[in-house]
Amino acid sequence: MTDSEPKTGASLTGSLFESPLALLVLGLFPSIAITTHVSYALALGGGVLVVMAGSRLVASLLAPVIPPRIRFGVHLVVIATLVTAVDQAVRAYAPALSKALGIYVPLVAVNCLILGRMAPGRSSAGKAVLGALGMGVSFALSLSLVALVREVLGSGTITLFPFGRWNGIVTVAGLSRNPIGAFALPAGAFLVVAYLAGLANWAALRRQEARKGRAEETGTSARSPSERESPRGSSAPEATG
Amino acid sequence: MTYLGIVIGLVFVNNIVLDSFLGVCPSMGASKRAGTALALGITVTVVSSLAALLTWAVRHLILVPLGIVFLQTIVFVLATAGLVLLLEAVVTRVTTGPNVLGALPLPLVVANSAVFGVTLIAARADYDPLGSFLAGLGAGGGFLLTLLLLSLIRERLESEWIPRPLRGLPITFLTLGLMALAFAAFNKGLLANLLRG
Amino acid sequence: MEGSTSRNLAGAPHLHEGSTTSAMMWTVTLCLAPSGLWGIWQFGLPALAVLVVAIGAALLGEIGMGLVLKRPALRDGSAFLTGLLVGYMMPPAVPLYVPLAASLFAMVVVKWSFGGLGGNWMNPALAGVALALLSWTGAMGSWTAPHAWHAVVAGSFATPIASPEAFVAGGLAHQRGGSGGPIALVALGHYPVSPFSQSVAQWLGSHAGVRIDPHYLDLFVGLVPGSIGEISPPLLILGSVVLFRRRILGWRVPVAYLGAFLLLIWAFGGLPLGGALFQGDPLFHLLAGGIILGALYLATDPVTAAHTPGGMIVYGAGAGALTFLFRDYGSLPAAMPFGIILMNIVVPAIDRVARSRRLGMRAREAER
What is the C-alpha to C-alpha distance for residues B42 and B137, in angstroms, rounded to an integer?
10
Number of domains observed in the structure of chain B:
1
pLDDT score at C7: 40
β pairing state of A169-171 and A157-159? antiparallel
Inside any domain, residue C27: yes
Report whether pLDDT(B186) > 90.
yes
Interface of B with C (CB under 8 A): 34, 148-149, 152-153, 155-163, 166, 171, 174-175, 178-179, 181-185, 187, 189-190, 193-194, 197
Q: Is the pLDDT of residue A202 over 80?
A: yes
pLDDT of amino acid B99: 52
Which residues from B are below 8 Å from C113, CB to CB? 162-163, 166, 171, 174
- Dist. CA C152–CA C129, nearest whole Å: 31
Interface contact C7-B159, CB threshold 8 A: yes
Q: Is residue C180 in a domain? A: no
Q: Is A151 exposed, middle or buried (0-12, 13-18, 19+ CB in 10 A)?
A: buried
Residue of B nearest to A7 (CA): B168
| C128/B81: higher pLDDT | C128
Determine whether B90 is exposed, middle or buried from the number of CB atoms within 10 Å of its CB (0-12, 13-18, 19+): exposed
The dihedral through the CA atoms of A199, A202, A204, A207 has a sign that is negative
User: For residue C133, what are the CA distances in angstroms to A182, C249, C258, C287, C344?
Assistant: 9, 28, 23, 21, 18
Cα separation, B120 vs B126, whole angstroms:
10
Nearest to A122 by CA among A181, A60, A182: A60
Q: What is the distance between the alpha carbons of residues A25 and B29, in angstroms, rounded to a whole number?
A: 12
Host domain of residue B126: 3-186
User: Which of A212, A129, A159, A127 lies closest to A43 in space, CA to CA?
Assistant: A159
> With contacts defined as CB-CB under 8 Å, which chain A residues touch B59?
none
Q: What average pLDDT does the segment A115-123 reach?
A: 56
For C129, the domain range is 13-143
List the pLDDT tens digit at each of the 368 positions of chain C. 333 343 444 444 554 544 577 888 999 999 999 999 999 999 999 999 999 999 999 999 999 988 888 877 666 788 999 999 999 999 998 999 999 999 999 999 999 999 887 889 999 999 999 999 999 998 998 888 888 888 777 654 445 667 777 777 766 555 444 455 677 667 666 778 888 888 888 888 888 888 888 888 888 998 888 899 999 999 999 999 999 999 889 999 999 999 999 999 999 887 776 677 887 888 889 998 899 999 999 999 999 999 999 999 999 999 999 999 999 888 898 999 999 999 999 999 999 998 888 777 777 777 66
With cut-offs at 50, 70 and 90, classify the pLDDT of residue A73. Answer: confident
- Residue A232 pLDDT more than 50? no
Nearest residue to B28 (alpha-carbon basis) of A151, A238, C108, A168: A238
Q: Of A11-15, B21-25, B110-114, C152-156, which has the strongest mean pLDDT?
A: B21-25
Q: What is the pLDDT of residue C304?
A: 93
Whole-number pLDDT of residue B28: 73
- State the Cα–Cα distance between residues A206 and B104, nearest whole angstrom: 36
Give the CA angle between residues A189, A194, A195 to the nearest 5°. 105
| Of residues C119, C127, C351, nearest to B178 (C-beta) | C127
The answer to whether position C84 is within a domain reads: yes
A62 to chain B, closest Cα gap in Å:
19
Element (H, E) at C55: helix C45-69
Structure ipTM:
0.89
Whether residue B155 and residue C134 make contact (CB cut-off 8 A), yes or no, is no
Count Cβ atoms below 10 Å from residue C54 Cβ, excluding itself. Answer: 32
Give the mutation candidate from C111, C117, C345 for the B interface (greatest B CB count, under 10 A).
C345
Asked if C89 contacts C37 with a C-beta cutoff of 8 angstroms, the reply is no
From A163's Cα to the closest Cα of chain B, the distance in A is 30
- DSSP letters along B25-81, please? HHHHHHTTSHHHHHHHHHHHHHHHHHHHHHHHHHIIIIIHHHT-GGGHHHHHHHHHH
Chain A contact for B77, CB < 8 A? yes
Q: Give the model's pLDDT for residue A16.
A: 37
Give the rounded percent of residues in chain A with a pLDDT score beyond 70: 73
pLDDT at B51 > cutoff 80? yes
Q: Could C109 and B174 be called an inter-chain contact, meaning their C-beta atoms sit closer than 8 Å?
A: yes
Cβ-defined contact of B107 to A240 (cutoff 8 Å): yes
In a domain, C33, yes or no: yes
Q: How far, in Å, are C189, C197, C232, C291 from residue C222 at the CA level?
A: 20, 10, 4, 13
Contact between B4 and B132 under an 8 Å Cβ cutoff? The reply is no
Q: Does A53 have pLDDT greater than 90?
A: no
Q: How close B161 comes to chain C (CA, Å)?
A: 5
| pTM, to two decimals | 0.87
Q: What is the mean pLDDT of residues A57-86?
A: 82
Residue A223 has pLDDT above 60, yes or no: no
With cut-offs at 50, 70 and 90, classify the pLDDT of residue A178.
Answer: confident
Number of helices and strands in chain B (H, E): 11, 0
Q: Where are the alpha helices (DSSP H) in chain A?
A: 19-26, 38-62, 71-93, 95-101, 104-118, 125-155, 186-218, 225-229, 236-240
Residue B76 has pLDDT above 50, yes or no: yes
Contact between residue B182 and residue C338 where contact means Cβ atoms under 8 Å apart: yes
Q: Where are the domains of chain A?
A: 19-240
Using CB atoms and an 8 Å cut-off, which of residues 96-135 of chain B contact chain A? 104-105, 107-108, 110-113, 116-117, 120-121, 124
Dist. CA A105–CA C28, nearest whole Å: 52
Do C281 and C340 touch, CB atoms closer than 8 A? no
Total residue count of chain A as it appears in this document: 241
How large a percentage of chain B has pLDDT more than 70? 88
Q: How many CB atoms lie within 10 A of CB C210?
A: 10
The rounded distance, in Å, linking the Cα atoms of A18 and A10 is 8
CB contact under 8 A, C115 and B155: no
Please name the helix (run of DSSP H) or strand (run of DSSP E) that holds residue C33, with its range, or none. helix C18-43
pLDDT of residue B108: 53
The residues near B139 (Cβ < 8 Å, ≥ 6 apart) are B10, B16, B22, B48, B52, B114, B117, B118, B121
Check residue A122 and give its pLDDT. 56
Structural contact between residues C220 and C287, judged by C-beta atoms closer than 8 angstroms = yes
Residue C77 counted as domain residue? yes
B19 touching A, CB under 8 A? Answer: yes
CB contact under 8 A, B21 and A182: no
Q: What is the mean pLDDT of residues B81-109?
A: 64
Whole-number pLDDT of residue C171? 62
Q: Find all residues with CB under 8 Å of A72, minimum gap 6, and list them.
A: B107
| Closest CB from B162, B166, B189 relative to C331 | B189
What is the pLDDT at residue C180? 59
Question: Which of A117-121, B54-58, B156-160, C119-123 has the least mean pLDDT?
Answer: A117-121
DSSP character at residue C224: S
Report how far apart, in Å, the C-alpha atoms of A233 and of each of A11, A239, C333 are. 8, 10, 43
Contact C331 B190 (CB under 8 A): yes
Q: What percent of chain B has pLDDT over 90?
A: 37
- Chain C residue with Cα closest to B168: C114
pLDDT of B4 strictly over 70: yes
Cα→Cα distances B72→B58, B64, C145, C335, Å? 9, 10, 58, 42
pLDDT at C156: 46
User: Which residues of chain C lie closer than 8 angstroms to A183, CB-CB?
Assistant: 135
Q: What angle do CA C335, C90, C322 make, to 5 degrees?
A: 10
Assess whether pLDDT exceeds 70 at residue B96.
no
- Answer whether C7 touches B (CB < 8 Å): yes
**Which of A26-30, B76-80, C48-52 has the lowest average pLDDT?**
A26-30
Q: Which amino acid is at A5?
A: E
More confident residue, C164 or B82: B82
Beta bridge partners of A159: A169
Mutation target among A152, A175, A178, A206 for the C interface, most CBs of C within 10 A? A178
